[in-house]
Amino acid sequence: EEEEEMEVEMEGWHQLYPGHIPTSPLQKALLAAGSAVMALYDPYRHDMVAVLGETTGCLALPNLRDKMKNHPEGYRILRERPRICLSTLDMTRLQGLPDGSLGREYVRFLEDNKVSPDTRMPPKFVDDEELAYVIQRYREVHDLMHTLLGMPTNMLGEVVVKWFEAIQTGLPMCVLGAAFGPVRLSTRKLQVLATELVPWAIRSGLNASCVLNVYYEQRWEQSVESLREELGIFPPP
């Protein structure tokens, strides 16, 4: 059955990895437009945000892959394909790490915001198996970006992380989230965002080395502060 599935032919297209849905450029454009409208209407529709990221990432994803290939740690990640999900994480060990360490603060972030690393959707529309892994990795380190940037998962926190990620990855989905995310915020929050948080996120995004080149699974004991310094992320305001 699986073999049959892998041989699904669609007008000369075929499945490149489990779950892959081959699509034409026109279908991608329609999916991008539809998912963009839905994601802007409801930024918490993670499925729509995911589809948008895959259908519009055709220029940014190869660029990110090249950055990883040209970096020793990033290259190892591409070769070994680690995953950050409940089946690979030793939550008890991470909970037992000292306060301030990446592992402890990451688990605290998951608990405080009631999120699970398993909610990330697997890629479907990326027509290259290696690039599909790159976007999967980007999704799985997203919560670590929140941890490193010290941002919660509320609308304000998401917008700040999206600004940082937009600068770092060049993914149109992040740019869109950064630009249109603030429309629902109150005037007071908009003021804090415009005067403090966004300038800090942009400066950090430009200054930091590529966040996909960190083998986070081997850095759990490292302090968040020293990893911030190593990457070049300025302390949160």
pLDDT digits (tens, 9 = 90+) for 62-83: 999 999 999 999 999 999 999 9
Structure tokens at 26: 């026109």
**Which has the closest alpha carbon to 143: 96, 175, 106?**
106
Q: What distance in Å separates the CA atoms of residue 54 and residue 173, rounded to the nearest whole number?
A: 9
Return the pLDDT at 37.
77
Single pTM value for the model: 0.85
What is the overall mean pLDDT for the chain? Answer: 88
pLDDT digits (tens, 9 = 90+) for 199-236: 999 999 999 999 999 999 999 999 999 999 999 999 98
Q: Is the pLDDT of residue 5 over 50?
A: no
Q: What distance in Å separates the CA atoms of residue 31 and residue 29, rounded to the nearest whole number?
A: 5
pLDDT digits (tens, 9 = 90+) for 23-67: 888 888 887 788 777 776 776 677 777 777 777 778 899 999 999
Q: What distance in Å separates the CA atoms of residue 107 and residue 95, rounded to the nearest whole number?
A: 6
Domain ranges of the chain: 19-231
Q: What distance in Å separates the CA atoms of residue 196 and residue 185, rounded to the nearest whole number?
A: 15
Q: What is the 3 state secondary structure string of 21-38?
A: CCCCHHHHHHHHHHHHHH
